[in-house]
Amino acid sequence: MDHFIDTPDDPYITGITKRFTIPSASGEHSGVALKTSAGYIIISLYLLMVVYIFRVIWDLAVLVIVTLWTPDKDSRRFLPFVIIWNSGGAGQAARLMWGYCKAIRTKRKKSKNQDPEFQDPTAQLQIPLPSDPEVVSGENPESRSNESPEKSSKTGSNSLWWLALFICIYGVIWVGQLAAGVFISGKIWKGSYALANPDYIFYPDLDSLGGDNGTGGRLEKVFSLKAPSGLLALRYGDPRLEVEERVITKELNPPEGQSPNLWAGLSYGYNITGMDMGLQSDPRLTLVVNGSCHTDYTWLVNSTGEEDTYRAWGGNDTFRIKRNGDLGFPPRVTFFINDNQLRERSSNMSYAMIINTAGYYSRTPSEDPWYSTEQPRTNGTHSYQVLSKRPVLSCWEAKRWHLKGQDVEHTQLKKLPGLNLHKFWVEKVFPHEFLVPRVVSLGSVTGLHTFKSRSLSATFYNRVDPSYILDAQSYSVVSDIEHWVKASWISDRGVLRDTTTYRSVGGVNSAEGPDGSVDPSIAGFVIEGVDVYTLS
């Protein structure tokens, strides 16, 4: 829940009485959501309370010191009392006491130099001047000069030890006051989460969208609503530390006899928890996703100088990629899903991708399966051109739901023991949202922005070259897969949140009851807002 989508008004509920579980990687915490202005006031009051508490601690410390550390016969101890009482705070007291401590040490050194054993005998003839700030009115300087050096040294040492102790105490109080202000505000503020407002939840009923195009066609209409959040997921997929930790990818080695510039593959896996999605009823519910992709040349059935022809899964449907097609746009990728598995709602779904880079010009050479280029051209145009006959990316993906040691196929969520999730999500949202691989649904609605190589377009990093000039050497099919999978994790995590951002597409809101309102229990999840403070 780390990016935002523009929503009308406030699709969340705030209030000091609306407690909920805050999504957190460190564990479950209870909190409330307030408007930003109210949150500032609450945190400020907490900080003022901390300052007041430490002020009380300081006053108590001063009283204890004044009570226990009596002046006795050494009148010089009155000066630290004055410093402590008038300092106004631990930090100022520590600084003043440190200065006083250095003054005493300097005085001791001067007294030592004035001892007859350590100076010239003629120095004894000098008459002491009454300019010593330590001399009080009416005191005889000669009586002070006759004071025992051993006694003076012992008294000064005791004073220094006491002063050092006081400096440490005052320093600890001062540092504690500063640290408490920082740490307490951090402990109180837990982000920008709030409970969703049920009045903003919308999810179209598939039956109301018409059945002319079958399940796949109706799903495409639903997935089209995810275009804004999908674009943000693709944007924030790389690089993010949290995504790197949660999404596991491993590059596959080419099969025996396959050249690395002709074959590439990647396996991936990630999980989405109820806490990731902001669920309040089942924060430990987990969707485990595993999949793999590799280049596949068996789909290519014909290639001419002008176009390449592909056949999906050996069936009758063909797809053509024209060489030197519309070079005014960046490369595009087309996604395919196995219709038979889609109708059967298989837990292990096959999908594929075809890229149209064939014929695109490049400023750099490449041997990657998707971006492999020809030898340098000599016709004065551009240095390299992507070869035709680019392979298909053939993939599979499997999903299972887990909860409290039990697991089921992703299409059988309602059979999972111990599930408390509202039936609206179990029956009407999750079966459709997680039916097809997120890579497919995400890529199908984001168009030219689908894959990482979209940034190969010089339009976005060099406004001099036209958009069809690539930097093929910098990208690869493996980096594209990684980018899609990471964006899929972000998109999967936002399934609940996205329902508060949809607009009606003419269909029926499946979240509404017979009376036209949304059951408040459906909104059992939290979302992130830009003007919300979550306090623990």
* 157-to-76, 162, 194, 524 alpha-carbon distances in Å: 13, 9, 61, 68
User: Mutual orientation of helices 227-236 and 438-446 as an angle, nearest 10°?
Assistant: 110
For residue 304, the 8-state DSSP code is -
Helix (H) or strand (E) holding 381: none
Could you give the maximum distance between any two Cα atoms of the chain, in Å?
122
* 249-to-192, 269, 292, 486 alpha-carbon distances in Å: 31, 7, 9, 9
Q: Omega before 8 cis (within 30°)?
A: no
- Tell me how far apart the alpha carbons of residues 151 and 20 are, in angstroms, rounded to a whole number: 68
Report CA 213 to chain centroid distance, whole Å.
39
- Tell me how far apart the alpha carbons of residues 436 and 339 are, in angstroms, rounded to a whole number: 11
Can you give the pLDDT at residue 75?
52
What pTM was estimated for this model as a whole? 0.74
- Tell me how far apart the alpha carbons of residues 297 and 301 are, in angstroms, rounded to a whole number: 9
E strands of 253-340, at which residues?
A: 265-273, 286-296, 300-303, 307-311, 318-322, 333-337
- Tell me how far apart the alpha carbons of residues 290 and 349 are, in angstroms, rounded to a whole number: 11
* Three-class secondary structure of residue 335 per DSSP: strand
Can you give the pLDDT at residue 109?
61
Pairing type for strands 469-470 and 361-362 reads parallel
Reading the chain (536 residues) residue by residue, the pLDDT tens digits are 444 454 556 787 888 888 888 776 666 677 888 887 888 788 888 878 887 887 787 777 777 766 766 655 555 556 666 666 666 666 666 666 667 666 666 666 666 555 554 444 444 434 343 444 444 444 454 444 444 444 444 444 555 566 666 667 766 777 777 777 677 776 777 778 888 889 889 988 876 665 555 565 667 777 777 777 777 777 765 556 788 889 999 999 998 888 878 899 999 999 999 999 999 999 999 999 999 999 999 999 999 878 999 998 988 889 999 887 566 777 888 999 988 888 888 889 999 999 988 988 888 899 999 999 987 655 566 788 899 999 999 999 999 999 999 999 999 999 999 999 999 999 999 998 999 999 998 888 776 555 555 443 333 434 445 556 888 888 899 999 998 999 999 999 999 999 888 866 556 888 888 888 899 999 999 988 778 878 87
Token pair in block for residue 452: 């990482």
- Tell me how far apart the alpha carbons of residues 486 and 249 are, in angstroms, rounded to a whole number: 9
- Tell me how far apart the alpha carbons of residues 321 and 287 are, in angstroms, rounded to a whole number: 36
Can you give the pLDDT at residue 323?
83
Can you give the pLDDT at residue 368?
93
* Three-class secondary structure of residue 211 per DSSP: coil
The answer to whether the CB of 362 falls within 8 A of the CB of 470 is yes
- List the end-to-end C-alpha distance of the chain, in Å, as a whole number: 18
Place of tokens 């400020």: 44
Domain segments of the chain: what residues?
41-188, 200-510
Q: Half-sphere exposure of 331 toward its Cβ, with a 13 Å CA cutoff?
A: 31
